[in-house]
Chain A
């Protein structure tokens, strides 16, 4: 006679693993778009007045999915502060009035300083919302069925106990 054994723990673990891989696959899409838009001389630059924002892509980082109630969450963003820089990318993302881009005659009046803004993060999320959901679904189903996630994921099988 065999003792009854619940498979619930392994089901939970499989669901966790699939969700984690799905979140990883979903965040990779906007992350790659942001990295592409910030690479080289693109991104938060404006003519000769780059003000240290050239090479912003090197400050880009994303976290591994972390477990929260009901699923996983992953974040990506710029590590300007961690790198010891002022948060210039934040200023460009949300907009600011820039004295260096203002014609010389107007620099004395702050109300005439040029407002500049280069939104990159939010558009990447808006433009890829449907693709992120599709990537999540496909990866979730694939991993749940015992398959391996797409190659963009470094180690999706890593499990947090």
Chain B
């Protein structure tokens, strides 16, 4: 069983890309495969997203689960694409809203337990790219990798 942080992000990424919303477009259509882990390539095609998993220090509840937050940063351009990026953020929220991934041979148990709050970043000033549309979503989650739950059986 793979229980690495990479396996967790991979499972979440697969969920995000494969989720079919009741209305709207699948992320595999709107983003293609441009849902990157940790950092985006230097030269990118828009829109794209970046996933980062941040674990809470000392948060292994009774030594059985780990808690943390998943950050999804979404980018698009130009600013006229705000509605398009907002729609992508909506689908991402739906995909992970209380999503429960049951453990199987391909990876660990993951549970998202709260709704993300999308923070649109509006740029101004000459120091930054003012044509960039940027959303940041943070999802609270906990997961149970094999190296923790082996002690619970």
- Chain A interface (Cβ within 8 Å of chain B)? 49, 51, 86, 88, 90-91, 94-100, 110-115, 122-123, 126-130
**How far is B46's CA from A88's CA once the two chains are assembled, in angstroms?**
24
Determine whether B144 belongs to the interface, using a CB cutoff of 8 Å to chain A: no
The 10 closest A-B pairs by CB, nearest first: A130-B58, A97-B129, A96-B128, A51-B127, A129-B56, A86-B125, A127-B57, A94-B121, A94-B136, A91-B128
Interface residues on B, range: 20 to 34
Describe B's contact surface by its main secondary structure.
Answer: loop
Nearest CB in chain A to that of B57: its residue: A127
Chain B residues contacting A115 (CB-CB under 8 Å) are 39-40
A113, B127: Cα distance in complex, Å = 11
A95 CA to B36 CA, complexed, in Å: 15
Interface residues of B in 24-64 (CB under 8 A from A): 39-40, 42-46, 54-59
Contact A130 B57 (CB under 8 A): yes
Q: Residues of A contacting B106 with CB < 8 Å?
A: none
- A122 CB contacts on chain B under 8 angstroms: 54, 71
B9 at the interface (CB under 8 A from A): no
A111 to B77, CA, bound (A): 9
Listed by A's residue number, 16 A-B pairs whose Cβ atoms lie within 8 Å are A86-B125, A91-B127, A94-B119, A94-B121, A95-B134, A96-B121, A98-B128, A99-B126, A110-B77, A111-B43, A114-B42, A115-B39, A122-B54, A123-B54, A126-B68, A128-B57
